[in-house]
Structure 1
Amino acid sequence: MSDHHKETTLPSSRKKNLKVLFGIGTGNAMEWFDWNIYALFAVFFAPQFFASGSPMSDLLKTFGVFAVGFVARPFGGVLFGLIADRRGRQFSMTVAVGLAAVGSLIIGLTPTHETIGAWAAVVLVTCRMIQGLAHGGELPSANTYISEMAPREKRGLWASLIYFSGTIGIICGAVLAAVLSGILTDAQMSSYGWRIPFVLGGVFGLFALYLRSRLQETEIFESSAKSQKSESQQSKPSLWSQIREHRRLLVRVAAMTVGSTVNYYVWAVATPAYAISVHGVDPSGAMWAGAAANVVFIIMLPVWGTVSDRIGRRPVLIFSGIMMITLLFPLTSIIRGQAWQLFVAMAIALVFMAGTVSIGPAVFSEMFPTRMRAVGIGLPTSLAVAIFGGTTPYLQAFFADKGIPGVFNWYAIVLMAISVATVIFFLPESKGKDLTAAGEVSESLSPSSV
């Protein structure tokens, strides 16, 4: 290759990579922003949609709608996973971010109960279901896309973008909540302030839709689609036959997800509220401690992704999982009544949590054949997140209220132990795997045989 050709090709390749990363990251950040601002602002908009006369009753109904979104996520995982495997990864994740943006925008613009009566609650439930479908669909679509677009020697690093960008979206929502609640009165927040994040989420989500619509489809999917076109219609396996054929891999993905999703929701999401209600930590200090700890989490994600590209996926997953099991009780005991204690505990936990989640998209993509890669990721992960992740804050608060918080800690430890054991006994090393290969990681392979 001539020097002139190198000079023209390398910048072009770098520009393409940046376009891909920015398109995926922006959309993923807005999906997580849209998903989490609902809980952050629920206390302000609950009376606007239900108006029962009891603030607590309105809030409980609003959080009930929040749970509806979690119920919709597995259906989104299957639906958009199927779309991604049939129509393309780029098309699927573009539609997903568009649906999330529309749902957010409609919530932000919907008239209140005082204007349209019970229809306000109907619109809220509908939009939250749409967002649940979209959020469940974002995971298999974006995870598969970024794994197939990444250079095989940097797939772990690229995969870390999913939680990296998602956490940025969560932090932006938290900062916006802090700013708005600081400059607006409670009356103003209840009147119109709560609408601002939903409208912003919708507008920026439509911008992400535009960015994703300009991305190219992955070469791996296009190559697979061409080969499938040459097959006779009768010889093409149905979705359910593929699920039955790879059922063991699906179970492994779910088993690897249960531990990480519970511990992620504990340390990245629920612990500040737990510290406020159980240990009396100052609310403002707890929120800032949580935000600062998540910055540590963001920093560590690409670090672990890079390490996995050097030494392998299995060592990273096993080491970080064992550290979470070992440190859960000691870190919980650190949290007393001070915000700095909360930050220390969360920051240490999230250093190792980053290891368990950063390379998930790469690991799961390396497990499945191209024709069902998105469904293979979306179905088991969305089910595990909905069942175990969605109930984590409630169970943590429930056992604390009963005076037996240690029971929840053992629950989280057992689930993480299941995830680690699955990696040790059933996950072959797949670092640098060629995703274009016709044969994927065999279900009969043991770790030692790779």
Structure 2
Amino acid sequence: MTTVVPDRRRTLFGLGAGNAMEWFDWNVYATFASFFASQFFNAHSAVSALLSTLAVFAVGFAARPIGGWVFGWVADRKGRQLAMALTVAIAAAGSLVIGLSPTYGQIGVWASVILVVARLAQGLAHGGELPSAQTYIAEVAPPARRGLWSSLIYFSGTCGVLVGTLLGAVLSGVLSHQQMLSFGWRIPFILGGVFGLYSLYVRLRMRETEVFQASKNNAAKEKGQIWQTIKKNPKLLAQVVGLTVGATVIYYMWAVAAPSYAITVRGVPPTGALWAGVFANVVFLIALPLWGIVSDRIGRKPVLFIAIAGLLLLSFPLNAMVGHEPWQLFVAMSIALLFMAGFSSIGPAVYAEIFPTRIRAVGVGVPYSIAVAAFGGTAPYLQTLFAGNGHPSLFIIYGIVLMVISALVTFTLPETRGVDLREKTEPVDRAVTGSGT
């Protein structure tokens, strides 16, 4: 069997389009933070307003574990397709609310409240999107090509980030700085909401995975057993957290927040910084499927070790490379994202392959969202705070420590390349093929 859905193109397009739109909605916040910070908070201090805006970015992450649990439960009990449709609808609504919200100057602190509520809603949606989409793509992919297929998650997501960054570069070049502060920042949020509704329509036409359908009868006979199954697998939960902590900090530092950080802290011209981010993410896009193919041939663990080792060795040199010129930011981002792609490409496959079917979405979603909320959500804030206090190296050391943790956890993983997910209906390791540790 090569696929479980008759129309493979429709399946991949529906998953990719929805994921791209949701990542667009989520990440344009960080990309445009320097432009709209003063519209939602006190504008008398630019740095203070930016820090407040980044704090709300972190608050949005606080809702992700709840979203991982709620929509992970929906995905494991009601279906992956339903969970993905709900998450993209909520994300689109949150984006429209932000784009149409009154400013601090118009309604005072209520503007800040609206922003927080909208980001919490998007946090719920994004917390449920990744585990649901990752589980879906892993279950429909041919076992021998699951690494390649899993790269669609970050490939489509990065397309969403790329479009947002590209839109920022174009708008900042066409509009004046005052126009960007006044109304330009609203454009990406409104567009994200509209295209999110289209993605909802596409996802409502997708079919459920055969793996989930096959396990549905067993799940019906074992109502109330999801939590019991999760409690029997604390090692799996810990492995998800350990793998995620290092990668999520490095990803948000280089793939999402780097242009905004370079503009605010290093004094890189806004248009040049945003274009540097666009081209660096193109490098990331090219690398993703290549790493997926490599993992299908040599295994998941070797690719993870290569990616982690590269990021550890180059952390300080790459940070030092970012000066006051856009080309320096581009080179540093490209190198970092080249290695980051090794982890991001196969992460969805690795997570799915170590879990049994009936807790695959919620089992990944909750610990993954907690790790991302605690470490990824605070990464841009900590990076800006440390740099603002004259200690940028502290954040680099912080990232290195977390990557070391991810490396140690990788040693504990079994090699899961080629495992048949239809056999993983019980929380045991005997279904895993290849060599384990």
- The answer as to whether partners of 1:152 and 1:432 remain within 8 angstroms in 2 is yes
CA distance in 2, matches of 1:373, 1:19: 23
1:432 correspondence with 2:423? no
CA distance in 1, matches of 2:69, 2:159: 26
CA distance in 1, matches of 2:187, 2:258: 26
- The answer as to whether partners of 1:157 and 1:305 remain within 8 angstroms in 2 is yes
1:271 correspondence with 2:271? no
CA distance in 1, matches of 2:276, 2:98: 30
Which residue, 29, 45, 61 being the options, matches 1:38?
A: 29
CA distance in 2, matches of 1:264, 1:185: 30
1:125 correspondence with 2:116? yes
Which residue, 335, 338, 343 being the options, matches 1:348?
A: 335
- The answer as to whether partners of 1:427 and 1:446 remain within 8 angstroms in 2 is no
Please report how far the alpha carbon of residue 243 of structure 1 lies from its aligned counterpart in structure 2 after TM superposition. 2.1
Please report how far the alpha carbon of residue 99 of structure 1 lies from its aligned counterpart in structure 2 after TM superposition. 0.5
CA distance in 1, matches of 2:327, 2:63: 37
Unmatched 5+ stretches in structure 2: none
Instruction: Pick closer, same or farther for the CA change 1:185–1:405 going to 2, 3 Å.
Output: closer
Which residue, 37, 53, 60 being the options, matches 1:69?
A: 60
Instruction: Pick closer, same or farther for the CA change 1:241–1:330 going to 2, 3 Å.
Output: same
1:20 correspondence with 2:11? yes
Task: After superposition, give the CA deviation of every residue in 1:93-129 in whole Å (9 maximum; x if it has no partner).
Answer: 1100011011112222334456656544433222211
Task: After superposition, give the CA deviation of every residue in 1:139-162 in whole Å (9 maximum; x if it has no partner).
Answer: 111111111111111111111011
- The answer as to whether partners of 2:5 and 2:11 remain within 8 angstroms in 1 is no
Task: Calculate percent identity across the aligned residue pairs.
Answer: 57
Instruction: Pick closer, same or farther for the CA change 1:359–1:47 going to 2, 3 Å.
Output: same
CA distance in 2, matches of 1:168, 1:138: 16
Please report how far the alpha carbon of residue 364 of structure 1 lies from its aligned counterpart in structure 2 after TM superposition. 0.4
Task: After superposition, give the CA deviation of every residue in 1:30-60 in whole Å (9 maximum; x if it has no partner).
Answer: 1111112223334444454456766665554
Aligned to 1:289: 276
Q: Count the aligned residue pairs.
A: 436
Instruction: Pick closer, same or farther for the CA change 1:176–1:279 going to 2, 3 Å.
Output: closer
- The answer as to whether partners of 2:27 and 2:256 remain within 8 angstroms in 1 is no
Q: What amino acid does structure 2 have at the position aligned with 1:329?
A: F
Which residue, 144, 153, 157 being the options, matches 2:144?
A: 153
- The answer as to whether partners of 1:248 and 1:443 remain within 8 angstroms in 2 is no
The alignment's TM-score, normalised by the length of structure 2, stands at 0.91
- The answer as to whether partners of 1:301 and 1:358 remain within 8 angstroms in 2 is yes
Please report how far the alpha carbon of residue 436 of structure 1 lies from its aligned counterpart in structure 2 after TM superposition. 0.8
Task: After superposition, give the CA deviation of every residue in 1:273-316 in whole Å (9 maximum; x if it has no partner).
Answer: 44445544444333222221111011000000111111111111
The alignment's TM-score, normalised by the length of structure 1, stands at 0.89
Aligned to 2:95: 104
Within 5 Å, give how 1:41-60 maps onto structure 2: 41-50=32-41, 58-60=49-51
Q: What amino acid does structure 2 have at the position aligned with 1:315?
A: P
CA distance in 1, matches of 2:285, 2:352: 22
Mean Cα displacement is larger for which, 235-244 or 64-73? 235-244
Aligned to 1:381: 368
Q: Secondary structure at the match of 2:286?
A: helix
Q: What amino acid does structure 2 have at the position aligned with 1:348?
A: I
Aligned to 2:225: 238
Please report how far the alpha carbon of residue 356 of structure 1 lies from its aligned counterpart in structure 2 after TM superposition. 1.1
CA distance in 2, matches of 1:442, 1:246: 11
CA distance in 2, matches of 1:52, 1:159: 43
Aligned to 1:95: 86
Which residue, 206, 212, 223 being the options, matches 1:215?
A: 206
- The answer as to whether partners of 1:94 and 1:209 remain within 8 angstroms in 2 is yes
CA distance in 2, matches of 1:42, 1:325: 28
Please report how far the alpha carbon of residue 176 of structure 1 lies from its aligned counterpart in structure 2 after TM superposition. 1.3
1:357 correspondence with 2:348? no
Please report how far the alpha carbon of residue 330 of structure 1 lies from its aligned counterpart in structure 2 after TM superposition. 2.8
- The answer as to whether partners of 1:366 and 1:440 remain within 8 angstroms in 2 is no
CA distance in 2, matches of 1:369, 1:125: 36
Instruction: Pick closer, same or farther for the CA change 1:271–1:225 going to 2, 3 Å.
Output: same
Please report how far the alpha carbon of residue 423 of structure 1 lies from its aligned counterpart in structure 2 after TM superposition. 1.2
Mean Cα displacement is larger for which, 216-225 or 105-114? 105-114
CA distance in 2, matches of 1:37, 1:337: 23
Aligned to 2:154: 163
Q: Which has the larger radius of gyration?
A: 1
Aligned to 2:191: 200
CA distance in 2, matches of 1:401, 1:191: 26
Q: Secondary structure at the match of 2:355?
A: coil
Please report how far the alpha carbon of residue 344 of structure 1 lies from its aligned counterpart in structure 2 after TM superposition. 2.0
CA distance in 2, matches of 1:43, 1:267: 17
- The answer as to whether partners of 1:100 and 1:134 remain within 8 angstroms in 2 is yes
Instruction: Pick closer, same or farther for the CA change 1:352–1:225 going to 2, 3 Å.
Output: same
- The answer as to whether partners of 2:280 and 2:333 remain within 8 angstroms in 1 is yes
Which residue, 199, 217, 229 being the options, matches 1:226?
A: 217
CA distance in 1, matches of 2:257, 2:33: 16
Instruction: Pick closer, same or farther for the CA change 1:65–1:216 going to 2, 3 Å.
Output: same
Which residue, 387, 393, 396 being the options, matches 1:409?
A: 396
Q: Secondary structure at the match of 1:215?
A: coil
- The answer as to whether partners of 1:254 and 1:380 remain within 8 angstroms in 2 is yes
Instruction: Pick closer, same or farther for the CA change 1:299–1:338 going to 2, 3 Å.
Output: same
Please report how far the alpha carbon of residue 268 of structure 1 lies from its aligned counterpart in structure 2 after TM superposition. 1.6
- The answer as to whether partners of 1:89 and 1:218 remain within 8 angstroms in 2 is yes
Unmatched 5+ stretches in structure 1: 1-8
Q: Let me know the Cα RMSD of the aligned residues.
A: 2.7
- The answer as to whether partners of 1:366 and 1:433 remain within 8 angstroms in 2 is yes
Which residue, 266, 289, 295 being the options, matches 1:302?
A: 289
Q: What amino acid does structure 2 have at the position aligned with 1:332?
A: N
Q: Secondary structure at the match of 2:180?
A: helix
Aligned to 2:358: 371
Mean Cα displacement is larger for which, 35-44 or 56-65? 56-65
Q: Secondary structure at the match of 2:63?
A: helix
CA distance in 1, matches of 2:250, 2:33: 24
1:254 correspondence with 2:241? yes
